[in-house]
Structure 1
Amino acid sequence: MTLRIWVDDWQMQCCGEGFAPGDVVSWALLEVDPEDYADILGSEPAAEVDFREEHHGQEEGRAPTSMEVVSVVEVHCRYEVPPGATDKVNYPFRARPCWYRSRRRTGGRRAGRMSASRATW
């Protein structure tokens, strides 16, 4: 079975271990609401995300799932304050995100900055 897992860059950069295709990882997986990713990915690709990786508190009581990484697709998008907003909070820019398949090690404290990534198992 192949799953699509959303992996937030900040989770991996904070205290995650880097991963690449062929690695075996053990993560706590939480169900997702596709609407949470629609602004970044678009509605159709967001509906393809099966789970998200979590290791900062919300995963309590869930056993980690071990799986082999088949491929990694990084997603980069710009964030900006929407025109006319008064709260000055950055949101995903509604332009098309940039996707590319990564063959290098992704995530971890020593990784370069990426906006977000999703990994396919």
Structure 2
Amino acid sequence: MRWNIWVSDWQMQCCGDPFRIGSTVSWTLCPADRDWLTRVLGEETAATIDWSEDHHSDPSADQLRVEAQVTHISAVHAHLERLPDENAYHPVRGVLSPQTSADGWNPDQGDLQFIGYLVTLAVDQ
């Protein structure tokens, strides 16, 4: 079975371990924020993402611990825009760029800011 996982840049930068295609990772997963992912990656791509990798949440019943092999990595870069009635900038209109490895520190691409990775895992069940 294949799962698409959202991995935030700040999670990786804070306490994530670098990984590459073919690596086996042991991650704690929590349900993905589909509303946020839809704004960033569009409805079609967001619909394929069920989980987010997480180092910082308190343990809860909706978390899952998984050990799986990385089969695909895409860096995600996005425009930052102010949403209506908000004072903060939020990523929108993300662009996926295939990668062979991830360490949390991809450079920005012009006016597109690096915000994380979309990672596909091969999960045994």
- TM (norm. structure 2) is 0.79
Change (3 A) 1:3 1:120: same
Does structure 1 conserve the Cα–Cα contact (< 8 Å) formed by 2:41 and 2:95? no
Query: Letter of the aligned partner of 2:7 in structure 1?
Result: V
Number of corresponding residues: 114
4+ runs deviating over 6 angstroms: none
Identical amino acids, percent of aligned pairs? 32
Distance in 1 (CA, whole Å) between partners of 2:91 and 2:34 is 15
Match of 2:106 among 86, 92, 112: 112
1:70 aligns with 2:71: yes
SS of 2:53's equivalent in the other structure is strand
Unaligned stretches of 5+ residues in structure 2: 108-113
Higher strand share: 2
CA RMSD of aligned residues (A): 2.0
Structure 1 unaligned spans of 5+ = none
Contact 1:73–1:100 (8 Å) recurs in 2: yes
What is the aligned partner in structure 1 of residue 88 from structure 2?
Answer: 89
User: Partner amino acid for 2:68?
Assistant: M
